Amino acid sequence: MNRRVTPSKSEITADTLVDRLIEQWKAKVEKSKLAANTKRRYTEILELHLAPRIGKLTIGECTTQTLEATLEDISDEVGKPTAKLAKTCLSGMWTLASRYGASAGNIVKLLAAIKVEDKPVVAWSLDEVHSIRAGLHTDKRALANGIADLVDFLLATGCRIGEAMALRWKHFDLDSPKPTVLAEGTVIRVKDGGLIVQPHPKGGPNGKRRLLLPDWAVARLIARRDLLPHQPEDLVFPSALGTLRDPRNARKQMKRALDRIGVTDVPQNPHTARKTVGTTLSEDADGGQSDIGVAAAQLGNTEEVTRRHYVQRTHRGPDARNRFDAFALPEERNPTAQTD
């Protein structure tokens, strides 16, 4: 009967339990420069989905068939996006294992790709925006808890809700000829359950951006500033206790508010406001969507990400009629010159 060998704390071999490999890789993730939310999500994948399934196997017992079956189970039971993240974690773990000689190589690279189907982007129409804004500004609870002002701000900037929750009045310049806001952080929940401001947006330091504000939003923000404590370090959208507001709670409050005003047949999440901004700014003067660069700069994303995730397709081409003139026959190009 073979007896499993328990390696020393620092040793990783083919006989090492995957549980230990998980802990080793998790420690490296914690020391990395990954965003706090990414670290939290990886930890959830490791603890909730991988450790229970393969933690008691040794590294040597984990074949490509074993790992692929594990990912298929996660995909079926939880969903493809979670399985895809699990595969990312496994790849990191097996890179570490191969570095220590516990595996002949990163066998995760041999596994089948996990394809997650992109859902169509859905944005609010102009009529829906007007209905939502007008309705929220007649709802006493939405006015009292700041949801009306929050939705206005999201529609005026395309910011993520976590970025809005992180804003303090020092980030605004509302009294200049060209009023702006600086989006430079986001509220996240860390492992122990508390809320902190991550010092950069979701996309990393390059996602920081200063945005010009439309006049109607400036008027709303000045009115809000006049009603609230507004020292430079005071939060613009605080919780009822004046502390950092949980984006999850704000989402729930927004959904309840939209239910109250009867807006129930459209997406009710704040991210739809971001998609609405992306869709609106991508539209060019001819009704096409060639201004992706404008939308991307506003949202702090690349053009590829913006086109894929934040622009609702209109299926309408640009006005390029003059470029088709080259296909015309001579008599078609100058019909007025024809004679009887």
pLDDT digits (tens, 9 = 90+) for 185-195: 999 877 666 88
Q: How far apart are CA 228 and CA 240, in angstroms?
A: 12
- According to the model, what pLDDT value does residue 66 have? 92
- Is residue 189 within 8 A of residue 38, CB to CB? The reply is no
- According to the model, what pLDDT value does residue 340 have? 43
Q: How far apart are CA 276 and CA 193, in angstroms?
A: 31
Q: How far apart are CA 306 and CA 300, in angstroms?
A: 9
- According to the model, what pLDDT value does residue 193 have? 64
- According to the model, what pLDDT value does residue 7 have? 46
Domain annotation for the chain: domains and CATH numbers: 18-110 (1.10.150.130), 126-277 (1.10.443.10)
Answering whether pTM is above 0.85, one says no
Residue from 166, 183, 162 nearest 248 by CA: 162
- According to the model, what pLDDT value does residue 336 have? 54
296, two tokens: 């991307």
Element (H, E) at 187: strand 186-189
Residues of the chain with pLDDT under 70: 1-10, 191-193, 286-288, 315-318, 334-340
105, two tokens: 């190589």
User: Which strands sit side by side in the sheet containing 172-173, from one edge to the other?
Assistant: 172-173, 180-183, 209-212
In 3-state terms the chain splits into helix, strand, coil percentages (rounded to 5) of: 50, 5, 40
Identify residue 322 by its one-letter amino acid code: N
SS3 state of residue 211: strand
Element (H, E) at 182: strand 180-183
- According to the model, what pLDDT value does residue 307 have? 87
Place of tokens 């996006």: 81
Number of H helices, E strands in the chain: 15, 5
Q: How far apart are CA 8 and CA 24, in angstroms?
A: 12
- According to the model, what pLDDT value does residue 147 have? 97
pLDDT digits (tens, 9 = 90+) for 16-41: 999 999 999 999 999 998 888 888 88
